[in-house]
Structure formats: structure tokens, C-alpha cells
Amino acid sequence: MADAKAVATPSTDSSPNADALTIGSYTLTSRLMVGSSGYPNPQVMLDAIDASGADMVTVAIRRVNVENPAPESHLDLLRKGGHTILPNTAGCYTAREAVLVANLAREALDTDLIKLEVIGDDEMLMPDVEQLLKAAKTLVDDGFTVLAYANDDPITCRKLADLGCAAVMPLGAPIGSGMGIVNPYNLRIIREELPDTPLIVDAGIGTASDAAQAMELGYDGILLNTAIAEAKHPVDMARAIRHGLEGGRLAYRAGRIPRRRYAKASSPQQGRVGS
């Protein structure tokens, strides 16, 4: 089983990657996870992933031949680049389908990682909660490290965490929409309800400011694909989102000032002229 890149930075370092992200037995130096589909060509994909700094790259198992990947296939290129492959169950509509795809990925790729997606329909691409929970229980019981894509619903997310998912991944907005964080209120509640569960915003991120907002809400990371792959300049967007994420993480760790209804002078009032 391939391990993610280990963090060598001392814990006293205040750089954005100094606080590692741990998911199950995997330690990541980057809190940005990216997809591998929809790029203009394989070289742009590789350059964009490199610019993003991502350790972990997700691959849709139903779209690739994992048993006999062709030379220079996306999967082969990613492996050569030393990336940790996160297989996903995109395109599955039932728990049974998702479990079958996950087992295929584990056997072919020698990994216990799985990004679990169980979709309700082709139009909205929203999770089918009933099937998602059923699949999550089966896969966790089967020894998988499950990263579960979910609605931005605190109850569903809590149930996934209680089932033992290694990470819960509530959506920021519908897949591929680029709408950003449409319901920060719910995402904030999920963070408060699950303080000890790795939480990743998955889907809906459109640009660097969306990434910063997600991290400022206290999320542990972001997974995205379309925002980079379909940008006018994917490599530049990958770099921008990386910086947005790192800035948001640093801001969260620094602790923002409280919002106030009225002004508060930053200069001391004592010693003013005429006082």
C-alpha cells in the first residue's frame, strides 16, 4: 500500500504546511487534493497538479482501466509522479455499485483508500444519503479508509463520522458548479459538531477566494477538480488556489478579530492633543 508523503518540517515552523493533515494512517504535506479529469491534455494536468502542491490525486475508477493501464495513461503518469492515488466511486448510484468499485480499486491499486460517492441522479449529482450511509458502513467494516462525499447536512455528516469514516467531505456547492461556499452556516455547524473529524470541503470551489473561505471556516482541507481543470489557465489557477488555501489556513490558525457593530479606534486614546 502506497503511503502519502511524510512531513519533515519541524512542528515549530509556522509555514502553511507545518501542521500536517492526517487522514487514517496517511499524513499529507498539502491540504489540497485535486482531481485528474477534464484537462486539455495530460501535460497540462501534470503541470497543474505540480503547481497545486497536492500529495493526493483522485481518480475515477469507472473511467480508467486499473487492471491494465496503458503506458502513459493518466494513472500511469500519476504513479510515476509519486502521487498518492485516491480512487473514487464517481458514477455509482447504489451502495452495491460503490462497494464493488471500491473492492476493484483495492485489488488493482493495492490501497485501502477510497473516496466514496453515491449519487442520486445525473442532473444535480447530489449524494443519495440512504445509499451513502449503507455503503460507508460496509466499506468501513471491510477495512477501507473512507473519505465520504456528503451533503452539507450536519446530521448526515455526524452519522458518517459515527460509522468510522476517516474523513467527511461535505459539499460547498453542487459538483462542477463553481458556486463557491453557498451555505457557510451549515459548514460552520458541521465543524462545531465534529471537532475531531477530518473535514474536507468537496465540490463547488470555483476560485482561490472560495478556497480561502473554506479554510477560514476551520476545515482541514479541500478537494476539487473542475475549478483547475476547466480554468482558462489551469496551471495559474492551481497555483492561485494553493495560495488561497494556505492563506485561509494561516488566517484560521491566527484567529480573526471579532466582528463589531461599531468602530473601535486602533490608536490609543490617552495623550491626544487637547485632552
Q: Would the annotation count 225 as a binding residue? A: yes
Q: Would the annotation count 226 as a binding residue? A: yes
Question: Do the beta carbons of residue 173 and residue 198 sit within 8 Å?
Answer: no
Per-residue pLDDT in tens (0 to 9) along the chain, 275 residues? 444 433 333 334 544 446 789 999 999 999 999 999 899 999 999 999 999 999 999 998 865 555 555 555 677 778 777 889 999 999 999 999 999 999 999 998 999 999 999 998 888 888 999 999 999 999 999 999 999 999 999 999 999 999 999 999 999 988 888 889 999 999 999 999 999 999 999 999 999 999 999 999 999 999 999 999 999 999 999 999 999 999 999 999 999 888 888 888 776 666 666 65
Q: What are the residue numbers of the active site?
A: 115
- How many angstroms separate the CA atoms of 227 and 274, rounded? 56
Q: Would the annotation count 274 as a binding residue? A: no
Can you list the domains of the chain with their CATH numbers?
Answer: 21-64+74-254 (3.20.20.70)
